[in-house]
A and B are shown apart, each in its own frame.
Chain A
Amino acid sequence: MTPDAGRDIEALLPWYANGTLDPAEIAVVEQYLDQYPACRVELEQCRALADLIETHDMTTWQPAPDAFDRLMADVNQLEAALIAAPVLVPTRAVSSLWQQILEWLRHAPSPVRWTLAVESLAVMALVLVVVVLLPSPLPMDPGYETLSNSEKPTVTTGQQMRVVFDDQMRVGELQTLLGGIGGRIVAGPTALGIYTVAVANGDSAKGALDRAVAVLRAHPHVRLVEPLVR
């Protein structure tokens, strides 16, 4: 055995002592200990340190009685901030840019403005000619559909909920269930098996969501349903 290999095995001793090595590693370590009994001293020191820490390091922490309440206050504040967060509107930046252009035009000399106006008209006329004269696109084969070419766009603006199904849920059953509530899966599953389901906005979006939640909760293969606050 090379010295490096020996060092690698000796480096495993703390975890041999705490019992977390896998069987193959345990076999390697035990073989090594049989070959080099002197290393047992190192192992005994690991075990002694573990015992020492277990016996004497009594550092413990317990939460204050109101700790969880304070935590939930922070959680609520966080959730409220998420709801109140202003939606980024890109048109604001666009309008700002448009205003800048108008401002620039306002201060531009008259010949420059006339030149730009004529050029703009020429470009618009060219676009019109191209659109009118070009042949219409080939009709799409109605029998062919890609996954990204579904008839209805994915519902992303409706009320959403997080749902966990159990292992017994079948695809057909799921389709029927979602069809019944007018819902679509818009995200998931996550590593935890959570799906985000959206129901389309109707006259009473909240009512639709409540009904969907009730229907899903009543289903035997739905384990969890929680509406998402938006």
Chain B
Amino acid sequence: MSNSVIDDLELMQAIACRDCQAFKQLYDRYAPRIGSYLLKLLKQPEWVDEAVNDTMLAVWQNADRFDPARGCLLTWLFGIAHHKGLKMLRQTGRFRAERSFDTLPPTVLDDTDPQENLPQATTPHNPEHTVLGWELGQSLLWALDQLSPEHRAVIDLTFAQDRSYPEVATIVGCPVNTVKTRVFHARKKLAYWLAQRGHVISATTEEVSL
């Protein structure tokens, strides 16, 4: 196979025929994106190498099972990566711990005093908090970290990877309505966690109440 740019279908056909050069092309094309997704899911950089390796090994073994009629290659790859990532979390015992943390009192949906149940922000709150900037970025990363892997996955796939909801459902392996519900709750939780640090999610104003 030549080194010229070839489309995903040709690439997968060649890999199914055990073409190592095509496999390298696929790796170079998609491994960074898969790895970045897994890094957000796993939160442990040292696990990402192994998870990407496992994902790509599964691609090599199952290349002939890829069916372009059922979705694009990236969706298929994300699906494998998601499965490998969750498997790794389960094996390391982190999945349950994170899940229980994420399902702490449904603070955004009831009247419980949030200060009683949530970790305190490490930075002092300030009504004139700068909405943009490093501090907001740190708060966002912190808020994303508070989400369960399942909620983090649907948020990333929807807002960072720009996947459609049927694609998200395919990747995480659940019904589309579950995806919609997860995104809804994850958004509310993110808004709530950010509010705890004095940030409000709004494109136009800081006064919008969440």
Interface residue total, chain A, C-beta cutoff 8 A: 52
Give, as a whole number of angstroms, the nearest-CB distance from B171 to chain A: 13
Q: Are B18 and A226 in contact (CB under 8 A)?
A: yes
Give, as a whole number of angstroms, the nearest-CB distance from B72 to chain A: 12
Q: A45-B191, A61-B48, A193-B13 are in contact. Are A18 and B158 (CB under 8 A)?
A: yes
Q: Are A45 and B201 in contact (CB under 8 A)?
A: yes
| Residues 25-49 of chain A, each 1 if its beta carbon lies under 8 Å from chain B, else 0 | 0000000000000000100111111
Contact of B9 among A68, A71, A192 (CB under 8 A): A192
Q: Are B69 and A61 in contact (CB under 8 A)?
A: no
**B67-85: which have CB < 8 Å to A?**
67-70
Give, as a whole number of angstroms, the nearest-CB distance from B73 to chain A: 11
Of B17, B28, B66, the most chain A CB neighbours within 10 A belong to: B17
Q: Are B32 and A55 in contact (CB under 8 A)?
A: no
Residues of B within 8 Å of A46, CB to CB, are 159, 187
User: Which of A72-80, A91-99, A115-123 forms contacts with chain B?
Assistant: A72-80
| Residues 135-157 of chain A, each 1 if its beta carbon lies under 8 Å from chain B, else 0 | 00000000000000000000000
Q: CA A60 – CA B141 in complex, angstroms?
A: 13
Nearest-neighbor residue (CB-CB) of B64 within chain A: A190
Q: CA A9 – CA B23 in complex, angstroms?
A: 41
Q: Are B27 and A61 in contact (CB under 8 A)?
A: no
A230 close to chain B: CB less than 8 A: no
B208 close to chain A: CB less than 8 A: yes
| Residues 134-167 of chain B, each 1 if its beta carbon lies under 8 Å from chain A, else 0 | 0011001100100000000001101110111101
Of A52, A63, A74, the most chain B CB neighbours within 10 A belong to: A52
Q: Are A45 and B53 in contact (CB under 8 A)?
A: no
Q: Are B69 and A191 in contact (CB under 8 A)?
A: yes
Q: Contact size class for B?
A: 35 or more
Nearest-neighbor residue (CB-CB) of A18 within chain B: B162
Q: Are B141 and A57 in contact (CB under 8 A)?
A: yes
Q: A15-B164, A191-B69 are in contact. Are A60 and B36 (CB under 8 A)?
A: yes
Q: CA A18 – CA B167 in complex, angstroms?
A: 13
Residues of A within 8 Å of B172, CB to CB, are none
Give, as a whole number of angstroms, the nearest-CB distance from B39 to chain A: 5
Q: Are A191 and B68 in contact (CB under 8 A)?
A: yes
Residues of B within 8 Å of A75, CB to CB, are 20, 23, 57, 60
Q: Are B13 and A164 in contact (CB under 8 A)?
A: yes
Residues of A within 8 Å of B180, CB to CB, are 11-12
Q: A64-B49, A162-B18, A228-B18 are in contact. Are A191 and B158 (CB under 8 A)?
A: no
Q: CA A67 – CA B155 in complex, angstroms?
A: 28
A210 close to chain B: CB less than 8 A: no
Q: Are B31 and A14 in contact (CB under 8 A)?
A: no
Q: Are B159 and A18 in contact (CB under 8 A)?
A: yes
Give, as a whole number of angstroms, the nearest-CB distance from B163 to chain A: 7
Residues of B within 8 Å of A15, CB to CB, are 158, 164-165
Give, as a whole number of angstroms, the nearest-CB distance from B162 to chain A: 5
Q: CA A162 – CA B19 in complex, angstroms?
A: 11
Q: CA A12 – CA B20 in complex, angstroms?
A: 41
Q: CA A168 – CA B66 in complex, angstroms?
A: 23
